[in-house]
A and B are shown apart, each in its own frame.
Chain A
Amino acid sequence: TQLLEQSPQFLSIQEGENLTVYCNSSSVFSSLQWYRQEPGEGPVLLVTVVTGGEVKKLKRLTFQFGDARKDSSLHITAAQPGDTGLYLCAGVRAGGTSYGKLTFGQGTILTVHP
């Protein structure tokens, strides 16, 4: 059972379409990060959200942290072929001694066709 459930696992869309990726859990997280990973490379950090209800924008990407800090979403407006990649959500669980270790979702493979 995944602590962080990410959906959908696969997303294939046309250039110009909008999309949303979801990251859900029954656990509370002190922070949640979104990463983008290219094949054969390490994840690259896109954003960190720490406050319940927080919304952050990065050009055409909008990230939201749920009020209860159990879920998050990534919305991409007018997707471009350059957005193609694996998107990962990852969180640091609240409470306990987690030393900041990240728990990852299983990822969403996004393909944007020209």
Chain B
Amino acid sequence: DTGVSQNPRHKITKRGQNVTFRCDPISEHNRLYWYRQTLGQGPEFLTYFQNEAQLEKSRLLSDRFSAERPKGSFSTLEIQRTEQGDSAMYLCASSRTRGDEQFFGPGTRLTVL
């Protein structure tokens, strides 16, 4: 399967713990996006990478959130000192060039107790 993959698929953590999610985009795609989706809502943009450069961050991305794409391939999203409000589905998408269709991974469902 050569689609976008995300790990883990599910994460349950206690409030105050740190969590890290991984996204592996489609191999020839140089653009990578992170979105967050809460129940009953459409996804909301969090951040965007072109190759290894993080070019845009949403105001939704507080100081507790950090994302990296060190070699322009896979990306990680870390949430420090998790809060119950961080509970959501975290989606990763990739595309080849600006304006091209974005292909989404299956998401990581985070539950903060």
In the bound assembly, the distance between CA atoms of A89 and B108 in angstroms comes to: 21
Q: Which of the residues B55, B102, B107 comes within 8 Å of A102, measured between beta carbons? A: B102
A68 at the interface (CB under 8 A from B): no
A43 at the interface (CB under 8 A from B): yes
Number of interface residues of B (CB under 8 A): 30
A90 at the interface (CB under 8 A from B): yes
The residue on B at minimum CB distance from A35 is B104
Query: Contact at A102–B43, with CB atoms within 8 Å?
Result: yes
Query: Contact at B50–A99, with CB atoms within 8 Å?
Result: yes
Query: Contact at B43–A100, with CB atoms within 8 Å?
Result: no
B5-44 vs A: 1/0 string, CB under 8 Å? 0100000000000000000000000010101000011111
The residue on B at minimum CB distance from A50 is B99
Binding site for A on B (CB under 8 A): 4, 6, 31, 33, 35, 40-45, 48, 50, 55-56, 91, 93, 95, 97-107, 109
Binding site for B on A (CB under 8 A): 4, 6, 30-31, 33, 35, 40-45, 48, 50, 88, 90, 92, 97, 99-107
